[in-house]
Amino acid sequence: MRQRLAARQAPQTHPDPDLLTAYVEQALGETERNQVVDHLAACSQCREVVSLSLAEQPVEAVAARPSTVRGRFWLPAFRWTAVAATVAIAAALVIEKPWRHAGNSETQFAQKVSNEAPATPAAQPAGNIPAEKSAATASGAPARSISRGEAQDNLGLAASETRSSERTDEARAKPSRVAGGQAGGVPAQTATVPAEQPPLVVTAMVPPVVAQPQRLVSPQPPPKVSGSDVALRNTQRDYVNENLLKNQAAAPAPTQTVEVTAEAPLVETKSTNGLPPAPAPKAGADGDRVQAQKSEPLITAGNVKDRAFNYNLQAPATGEPAASPAPDKNTLDSMNFAAKVTKKVKEGAKGAMAKIGGAQPPSVASGFASSMASPDLKSAEADQEAKQEAAQFHWRVTSDGILQKSSDLSHWHEAYPQEGDLQFRSFFTMGQGHQVWAGGNNGTLVHSWNGGVKWDTLKVPEANGSDITSISIDDGWQIKTSNGQTFVSHDQGKTWVPLKQN
């Protein structure tokens, strides 16, 4: 075959650079394109020129096969912004829970969390920030009054945190597991926690930390509760839990019950996760918190992610004013999912928020989300995705049903591999082209959330046999088919119901 191909006579005339350029940029009509292709099939020099003149394209992960139908269909971004924020609150609660102490350590933690967006982890010196000041500055919430007991605790914390900070580096290097170790503040967990993990500081910064997510989630502050930190935190926890459970539809609800403990020993004993069950919190048990504080190292940017993602919440002990359900064994997965959600919401929130109109400014949620999703979360793949985030993508469907994308409107490339007789008919984009839904024949519906790098396939069985000719958002997701039907979904594309019957 090589012989016969090579023996074919080369053409005598060649297309000019204008035509070749227009061909490369797919700006030719069908007739002209066929002529150029016909010439290229016979002319090795022009093939060489075309090959050389093809612009360097950004490296894109090839979506060789779309993922199986998972029925995942992104909600409008404003909902996900709220979800991300509430999930971030859960993360904050996870961090706060075992290390809840009044005093300097909490303050420092809040300071670190708020400073961690660019997140070069830098352990702050222990005890430098007075709790009362940092409570106000870190979260913006009014500084709560610190009881005499807490003030005394703070004084004592300085020494304990100094000792704890020495273990911080060690803690960072450890696998992501919540500390066991010394007594104080570590609640019973269902996650696996190595005993070698240095104890964590239960900080008094918890309320500010919690307050910060609250600010991001909703303009409504959490219900004020006077009294002990325990009661306050429990209420805050319940508020967070309530919102989280309400908003987080796709993922298994992470357990939100914050175990307010003070005396739980940090060494692993007999709990399901190796940690002893935390004793029930006592109102005004400042002394307990102090004791816990002494034994736990500071939470730093270097270890906050590990702490959060491997910390598992557990149902409070009897007597706690807890309103949340018992913790789910999938909390760890939930937290990981939360990070992914946070990241993906950040990706889609910017443009989508402007279009759909969310309750929260995207920068706030995304900024907080990014501060929680610290650099530790970024893998090589995430770095690549981050680069893609900056790009804006343009989409089109050609007359022969190929879904194409371009970053510069000059060079178009097939974005979804044509399989079998698949042909696209419609598409809908948002988030600067990073979020795209494309509808095709036989009720095929595909979705990408990262500019075409990865795809989900969503079948619409009710539309099987017809083409999806239109996709829109209007009181839920709506698709129109070639046989005149309109389907709407209110559950992220899992199920579709006919909107109109022709």
Partner 1 sequence: MSVGSKPAETLKPAVRALFEKSRGERYGLTFAAFEVVLEQVAEKYVPGATPQRKVEFWQELRLEELALSRGCVAGHELAWQEFLTRYREKLYDIARGITKEDSSGRELADSIYADLYGLSEREGRRVSRLSFYMGRGSLEGWLRTVLAQEFVNRYRKTKRLVSLEEEAEDGVQFASAEPFAATSVDDRLGLATDDALNHLAAEDRLILAAYYLDDRTLTEIGRMLGVHESTISRRMEKLLKGLRKQVMTGLQARGMNRGQAEEALETDVRFLTVEVRRRLQDSRPPAFQQDKGSD
Q: How far is the CB of 68 from partner 1 (least distance, A)?
A: 18
> 18, 30, 421, 475: which one contacts partner 1 (CB under 8 A)?
18
User: In terms of Cα–Cα distance, which of 494, 493, 492 is closest to 80?
Assistant: 492
What DSSP state is assigned to residue 205? Answer: T
Alpha helices for 97-142 (secondary structure H):
104-114, 131-139
Q: Which stretch binds partner 1 (CB under 8 A): 95-103, 126-134, 243-251, 405-413?
A: 405-413
Radius of gyration of the chain (CA): 28
> 70, 126, 294, 418: which one contacts partner 1 (CB under 8 A)?
418
> 53, 128, 363, 483: which one contacts partner 1 (CB under 8 A)?
53
Angle at which helix 148-166 crosses helix 286-295, to 10 degrees, equals 10
Of 455 and 477, which CB lies nearer to partner 1 in the complex structure? Answer: 455
Angle at which helix 104-114 crosses helix 131-139, to 10 degrees, equals 20
- Residue 10 binds partner 1, judged by CB under 8 A: yes
Q: How far is the CB of 416 from partner 1 (least distance, A)?
A: 8
> 70, 355, 387, 413: which one contacts partner 1 (CB under 8 A)?
413
Question: Segment 54-93, which members bind partner 1 (CB under 8 A)?
Answer: 54-57, 62, 64
Of 62 and 390, which CB lies nearer to partner 1 in the complex structure? Answer: 62
Cα atoms in the 13 Å half-sphere on the side-chain side of 142: 5
> 295, 314, 371, 404: which one contacts partner 1 (CB under 8 A)?
404
User: What's the rounded Cα separation, in Å, for the pair 173 and 171?
Assistant: 5
- Residue 47 binds partner 1, judged by CB under 8 A: yes
User: In terms of Cα–Cα distance, which of 165, 157, 99 is closest to 127?
Assistant: 157
Q: Is 357 left (phi over 0), alpha (psi -120 to 50) or beta?
A: left
- Residue 8 binds partner 1, judged by CB under 8 A: yes
- Residue 3 binds partner 1, judged by CB under 8 A: yes
Of 61 and 249, which CB lies nearer to partner 1 in the complex structure? Answer: 61
- Residue 6 binds partner 1, judged by CB under 8 A: yes
- Residue 422 binds partner 1, judged by CB under 8 A: no
184 token code pair: 């104080």
Q: Which stretch binds partner 1 (CB under 8 A): 31-39, 66-74, 80-88, 283-291?
A: 31-39
User: In terms of Cα–Cα distance, which of 141, 153, 157, 148 is closest to 108?
Assistant: 157
- Residue 1 binds partner 1, judged by CB under 8 A: yes
> 120, 162, 410, 464: which one contacts partner 1 (CB under 8 A)?
410
Q: Is residue 214 a contact partner of residue 240, using CB atoms and an 8 Å limit?
A: yes
Query: Largest Cα–Cα distance in the chain?
Result: 96
- Residue 44 binds partner 1, judged by CB under 8 A: yes
User: What's the rounded Cα separation, in Å, for the pair 480 and 442?
Assistant: 13
Q: How far is the CB of 394 from partner 1 (least distance, A)?
A: 14
Strands of 424-430's sheet in order across: 424-430, 435-440, 444-448, 456-459
- Strand, helix or coil at 477? strand
C-alpha angle 60-384-477 in degrees, rounded to nearest 5: 75
- Residue 21 binds partner 1, judged by CB under 8 A: yes
Interface with partner 1 (CB under 8 A), residue total 60
Q: How far is the CB of 49 from partner 1 (least distance, A)?
A: 5
Q: How far is the CB of 423 from partner 1 (least distance, A)?
A: 13
Element (H, E) at 351: helix 331-356
405 token code pair: 């994308």
- Residue 26 binds partner 1, judged by CB under 8 A: yes
User: What's the rounded Cα separation, in Å, for the pair 120 and 301?
Assistant: 7
Give the CA distances from residue 371 to residues 211, 263, 387, in Å, rounded to whole numbers and listed in that order.
Answer: 15, 30, 18
Q: Which stretch binds partner 1 (CB under 8 A): 27-35, 97-105, 142-150, 475-483?
A: 27-35
- Residue 390 binds partner 1, judged by CB under 8 A: no
User: What's the rounded Cα separation, in Å, for the pair 296 and 157?
Assistant: 10
- Residue 401 binds partner 1, judged by CB under 8 A: no
Q: How far is the CB of 32 from partner 1 (least distance, A)?
A: 8
- Residue 34 binds partner 1, judged by CB under 8 A: yes
Of 410 and 464, which CB lies nearer to partner 1 in the complex structure? Answer: 410
- Residue 414 binds partner 1, judged by CB under 8 A: yes
> 74, 109, 416, 437: which one contacts partner 1 (CB under 8 A)?
416
Give the CA distances from residue 352 to residues 91, 268, 296, 326, 369, in Å, rounded to whole numbers and listed in that order.
Answer: 25, 46, 42, 35, 17
Of 56 and 475, which CB lies nearer to partner 1 in the complex structure? Answer: 56
What residues line the site for partner 1 (CB under 8 A)? 1-8, 10-14, 16-28, 32, 34, 37-38, 40-45, 47-57, 62, 64, 402, 404, 410, 412-419
